[in-house]
Amino acid sequence: MLEIRAASKTFNPGTPNELLALQAVNLTVNDGSFVVIIGTNGSGKSTLLNAVAGSFCLDSGAIFLAGADITKWPEHKRAKLIGRVFQNPFSGTAANMSIAENLALAAYRGKPRRLGWPLRKHLVSQLRDRVSQLNMGLEDRLKNPIGSLSGGQRQALTLLMATWLHPEVLLLDEHTAALDPKSADQVTALTDTIIRRDKLTTLMVTHSMQQAAYLGDRLVMMHRGRIIQDFHGAEKQRIRMDDLLARFEEVRAPNYSTRAPPRCCAACISDKPSSIIIAPTQAK
Amino acid sequence: MSLLLGALTLGFIFSLVALGVFISFRIFAFPDITADGSSTLGAALAAMLLLHNVNPVLATSAAFAGGFLAGTLTGTLATKFKINGLLAGILVMTGLYSINLHIMGRSNISVLGSSTLSTYAERLGIALARVHNLNVMGWDITALEASLLVASFLFIVLAGCVMYVFFQTNLGTAMRATGDNNEMVRALGVNDENMIILGLGLSNGLIALAGAFIAQYQGFSDVQMGIGMVVWGLASVIIGEALVGTRQLGLSITGAVMGSVLFRLLVAIALRLGLNPNDLKLVTALFVFLALIAPGLLKKLNILKLQSSHA
Ligand SMILES: Nc1ncnc2c1ncn2[C@@H]1O[C@H](COP(=O)(O)OP(=O)(O)OP(=O)(O)O)[C@@H](O)[C@H]1O
Ligand SMILES: [Mg+2]
């Protein structure tokens, strides 16, 4: 179980650029729950995931994962419990190292690195096995540098790496946003398959309303460093893309206050463009 | 002939510097210039211990340990204290200058007369070959020269192999990945700061080892001898990359050794042809400068060519 208690983070405190990125966010995620997080640009979605991963320390609040208080743990120590896929396909893999070496690094996630040999026979055959399940023909290219692969292939492998050793929580931050539509669909399908198969507790940030509507069993919406909406169970299953688009329009209106009552309407979005992606972000 | 043998032997010894620089500059992309101080540290430690009749193997090992410590210090300054990597190296290098003077007690000490790895090698060579002078194709070679060449060659082969195997273990793989993508490595549970510290330790350990060998080869240690070490190492690595490419770890290691030997041969030839020894460092620096900007220049030339062919 992941429990975020009153997590707050202010960037550049005391300067004109002061930014309340997280404002006392509470979120409890049950084991095996797949939470999709949406929100306007700069609403704090990535900051929330980074807080869990330990990229920075919280100003106040606490984070519990698998029964441990990890609030003060450094990033590399938390990695024992956490699998992570970044938005940028270049961030999740070591480009100059081979596919096999990258996967082997992930197979030892959170374990001490000593003088043992990583690419033992049984690990290599296991690698080949799991990579061939991706149906990308990569099993015959295990010795090739991972930098020679396409973004989609790299994200698929990063996903495989992040979930190799059943993580207590899987963090996905717009991991399909930098991909072409076809690769994005492929990686999305793979994500869903792996998460269901391994019953992984997951936090997934996305800008795709389609993903938000059809993936996961819970939907959380963020705005200005707060969680402003939280759909569970049947309510989540009923949500349509149109409802989400409408909700976005609402919070973006200049007179919106975070205390306004939630309201869903499908009618007011008739003039929306057909694209299902709201405000796609560019890969850095 | 002895000029050639000397150049080859020095080339092999200096390969340790090339391998060290390869670890810091290439594997970790860390511009570590501690080497100028740590190579002298190795020479100073070995020379001092030899003068006190310490076993040469022990004295040389102590040099490695000293260099290792110096490297970890630079790594600690750069990671735990967030000091710019170049500056961290400069700080340690500058501090080492005083330490080296303290170790030696003066700026130059001789180890002639003590038993060293060189005298060991010579005795072993004579015992094995049962002659004091060889004649190869009409050239007279002393047993000392031949033994040193063979010994330094064997040692560098051993060091290269150990390094090749090490960088494929779990620890070595994690170190290479740290240089490639430290964000990813942290997400996989590796303490990237410790990897850098350990990597710089190994790098400077090898470089100090080279310093210890040089002191025993030339028979003295000098507080100035480390100046330019980084640039020499870098020149060797660059020549190696031009010779064998950068695709594979094994090739890169072999290339660095070949680069170092070739570089020493070129230096010997240049000196023979009348290059003023005082100009050696300037010429080396110019060479590295040219090698560093050459790829960019070639690209620009190609673009210009393309543009003119389109026009
Ligand atoms: N390291 C940082 N230093 C300063 N400000 C930061 C930092 N990281 C994030 N911010 C700011 O905090 C706010 C929240 O950022 P965050 O990246 O969490 O938003 P997001 O919801 O992920 O947005 P997007 O949809 O654009 O990815 C933004 O205004 C951002 O500029
Ligand atoms: Mg974001």
B291: closest CA among B25, B34, B28, B36?
B25
pLDDT digit string, tens, across residues B51-97: 999 999 999 999 999 999 999 999 999 999 999 999 999 999 999 99
**Pick the residue with more confidence: A192 or A249?**
A192
Give the ranges where B22-116 is alpha helix by DSSP (H): 35-51, 56-79, 85-104
| Residue A272 scores a pLDDT above 50 | no
Q: Which of A109-113, B153-157, B250-254, B287-291 has the lowest mean pLDDT?
A: B287-291
Quote the pLDDT of residue A255: 67
Residue A123 covered by a domain: no
Q: Is A49 in contact with A171 (CB distance < 8 Å)?
A: yes
Q: Are A89 and A154 in contact (CB under 8 A)?
A: yes
Query: Which of A54-58, A145-149, A279-283, B220-224 bottoms out in mean pLDDT, i.e. has the lowest?
Result: A279-283
In a domain? residue A112: no
Record the pTM. 0.90
Residues of A in contact with B187 (CB under 8 A): 53, 75, 79, 82, 84, 92, 162
CA-closest residue to ligand 1 atom 1 = A11
Domain count for chain A: 1
From A12, A45, A226, give the residue whose CB has the most ligand 1 atoms within 8 Å, as the site to mutate: A45
Per the structure, the complete domain to which residue A34 belongs is given by 2-94+153-269
> Contact B188/A79 with Cβ under 8 angstroms?
yes
Give residue A266's pLDDT: 37
Specify the fold of B2-275. ABC transporter involved in vitamin B12 uptake, BtuC (1.10.3470)
Alpha-helical segments (H) within chain A: 45-53, 75-78, 99-107, 121-132, 151-162, 181-198, 209-214, 233-238, 241-252
Measured in degrees and rounded to the nearest 5, phi and psi for residue A168 equal -65, -35
| Residue A262 domain flag | yes
CB atoms within 10 A of CB B168: 17
Of A175, A173, A172, A157, the residue nearest A105 (C-alpha): A157
Instruction: Indicate whether A280 pLDDT > 50.
Output: no
Tell me the chain A residues in contact with residue B192 when contact means C-beta distances shorter than 8 Å. 76
Q: What ipTM was assigned to the predicted interfaces of this complex? A: 0.88
Nearest CA to ligand 1 atom 4: A11
Cα B192 to Cα B19: distance, rounded to the nearest angstrom: 21
Determine, for residues A105 and B181 on separate chains, whether the beta-carbon distance falls below 8 Å: no
**Residue B233: its pLDDT value, please?**
95
Mean pLDDT value of segment B112-138: 83
Q: Are A107 and B170 in contact (CB under 8 A)?
A: no
Q: Is A21 in the pocket of ligand 1 (CB under 6 A)?
A: yes
Question: Mean of the pLDDT values across residues A46-60?
Answer: 96
pLDDT at res. B72:
98
User: Would you say residue A269 has pLDDT above 80?
Assistant: no
Q: Which pLDDT score, from 0 to 100, does residue B246 have?
A: 81
Residue A197 domain-assigned (yes or no): yes
Q: Is the CB of A225 under 6 A from ligand 1?
A: no
pLDDT at A169 > cutoff 60: yes
CATH of the domain at A67: 3.40.50.300
> In chain A, count of helices (H) and strands (E)?
9, 10
Residues of A engaging B, defined by a Cβ cutoff of 8 Å: 53, 74-77, 79-80, 82, 84, 86, 90-97, 101-102, 104-106, 108-111, 113-119, 161-162
Distance of CA A233 to the CA centre of its chain: 20
Contact: A113, B173; criterion CB under 8 Å: yes
Asked whether residue A17 is assigned to any structural domain, the reply reads: yes
Q: Which element (helix H / strand E) includes A39?
A: strand A34-39
The pLDDT value recorded for residue B182 is 93
Per-residue model confidence (pLDDT) at position B311: 56
pLDDT at A257: 61
Is the CB of A45 inside a 6 Å radius of any atom of ligand 1?
yes
**Residues pairing with A221 in the sheet:** A38, A229
In chain B, where the domains are located: 2-275, 280-311
| CB-based burial label for B220 (10 Å; 0-12, 13-18, 19+) | middle
> B44 or A265: which carries more pLDDT confidence?
B44
- The pLDDT value recorded for residue B114 is 87
Question: Strand, helix or coil at A206?
Answer: coil
